[in-house]
Amino acid sequence: MNENQEPQANPENEEKKEKFNLKEEIISWVQILVIASLIAFVLNRFIIANSRVPSASMENTIMTHDRVIGSRLSYYFTDPERGDIIIFYFPDDITEKTYYVKRIIGMPGETVDIRDGHVYINGSDTPLDEPYIREEMETPVELHYEVPEGCYFMLGDNRNYSADSRFWHNTYVKREKIVAKVLFRYFPSIGKIR
């Protein structure tokens, strides 16, 4: 080709440019959106649980308005343990639309006694070691609970401002009402929950 000659247009390239098909482009985007929606649905329904904590009941572990992620798979292969923070259906809401976030304190078959600002398990003389609680619990009267098999006794870390098992009509959380084990906070900051 001579330097002064202009390159000739390739008819195949011109055809490809002109054949942009709006319908095919829209179908392609719809497919991507449908697949993304399905993935999000499966993740949210079977893998993770997302919850917003509206109150100060878990402070300072989880602050008011924090958003947390829990694993729905955590208890498929292991049982919940004392100290786990879980997302569960609020026992007094028969519609099962209200999620609560609290810490497991009493295990199935145990007794839980609350006196002098401390928790005692199975009649122990030594109070439960709870370095996570915000301040000593106010206990105007002694409380005694017997946790049924297949159930858990729940308390918030900010005991003086927590609506938890001590105050519910249905005191205990059944195993099948546990949704997920809380793993980390993702808003307003990211951090692991212990």
Reply yes or no on whether 102 is catalytic: yes
**8 A C-beta contact, residue 61 and residue 193:** yes
By CB neighbour count within 10 A (0-12 exposed, 13-18 middle, 19+ buried), where does 144 fall? exposed
Q: In angstroms, what CA-CA distances link 68 with 27, 36, 88?
A: 35, 22, 13
Reply yes or no on whether 181 is catalytic: no
DSSP 8-state secondary structure symbol assigned to residue 93: -
By CB neighbour count within 10 A (0-12 exposed, 13-18 middle, 19+ buried), where does 110 fall? middle
Residue tagged active-site, from 23, 51, 57, 162: 57
Residue tagged active-site, from 55, 71, 97, 102: 102
| Residue bearing tokens 């059944």 | 174
Where in the sequence numbering do the catalytic residues fall? Answer: 57, 102
